[in-house]
Amino acid sequence: MEVQELTKKELLIEGSLNQKPITADITYLNNGIAKPIILFAHGFKGFKDWGPWSLLSEKAALEGFCFLKFNFSYNGVTPENLNEITDKEAFGYNNFSREIEDIDRLLTYLELTLSKEIQNLDLNRIYLIGHSRGGGISIIKAAEDARIKKLATWASVHDFASRFTEAELTYWKTHGVVYVKNSRTGEDYPMYYQFAEDFSRNGDRFLIARAMEKVWQPMLIIHGTNDETVNINAAFQLHQWKPESKLFILNKANHTFGARHPHMDKSLPQDLELALEKTLTFFSD
């Protein structure tokens, strides 16, 4: 049996505000065959090399896809250290507008630059996977951008506004900053009030319910029944807003489908393997 060689290319792309770069990588079989492109958007406190995401990209590439995973430019990960959030100030100044702009810049980079360097890219088949908060961002971007042809959400949020109470917003405005804890490392990350201001300025644009009305692309929604971070009711609500979407419920799966950071195994957790299998089948149909 012939062993298929994977190619992995590291990318450094100008990010939002032209200040922080988008670090990314694309993995594919360099066999001269045009392939669909999957963009993978990580969630809150996530990053492209978290847990088994690299193994995930290799699995997808072996199935005939070009898999591009990336760090949002203000997610706190730097080109010097891709395995942890170390730039806490950048993390504090992240917001939804910057994340949506980052995906836009990636799509433009694919069209104008990467497609000239890699002959395997099929720009007519660009698909998007968003995990957790990245799912909500991906829904909004898909609603705005016809370059995205299919959309899959994994453990996605369905409403950004409900993540903060009025009391929390008042405290946030008064103090200018709130801190979120990384339960794995015990570190506190700042979130500056500019995040709430950005959300307020963009009102309707960041309403996932409204974005779902504009999502014309075929859509797959995957969620676990034991999601400890985003209740499974979020998936049911997304599906209700777009009844023609495909809904796949993973019994007893948690928020990351069994994945942890760091990932030491050579195989994917069973739930994540199944989520990937369902997604690749959906993208292939």
CATH number of 130's domain:
3.40.50.1820
Nearest to 248 by CA among 217, 281, 216: 281
pLDDT, position 1:
42
| Residue 165 resides in a domain | no
| Residue 19 resides in a domain | yes
| Residue 227 resides in a domain | yes
| Residue 201 resides in a domain | no
pLDDT, position 163:
82
pLDDT, position 3:
57
pLDDT of the chain, 285 residues: tens digit per residue? 455 789 999 999 998 777 899 999 999 999 989 999 999 999 999 999 999 999 999 999 999 999 999 999 999 999 999 999 999 999 999 999 999 999 999 999 999 999 999 988 999 999 999 999 999 999 999 999 999 999 999 999 999 988 888 999 999 999 999 999 988 888 999 999 999 999 999 989 999 999 999 999 999 999 999 999 999 999 999 999 999 999 999 999 999 999 999 999 999 999 999 999 999 999 999
Q: Is the backbone of residue 181 left (phi > 0), alpha (psi -120 to 50) or beta?
A: beta
Domain hosting residue 265, numbered range: 6-160+207-284
All residues at 6 or more sequence positions from 68 whose CB lies less than 8 Å from its CB, including other chains: 11, 24, 25, 26, 37, 38, 39, 40, 106, 110
| Residue 180 resides in a domain | no
Instruction: Report the number of distinct structural domains present in the chain.
Output: 1
| Residue 35 resides in a domain | yes
| Residue 99 resides in a domain | yes
| Residue 200 resides in a domain | no
Burial of 205 (0-12, 13-18, 19+ CB in 10 A): middle
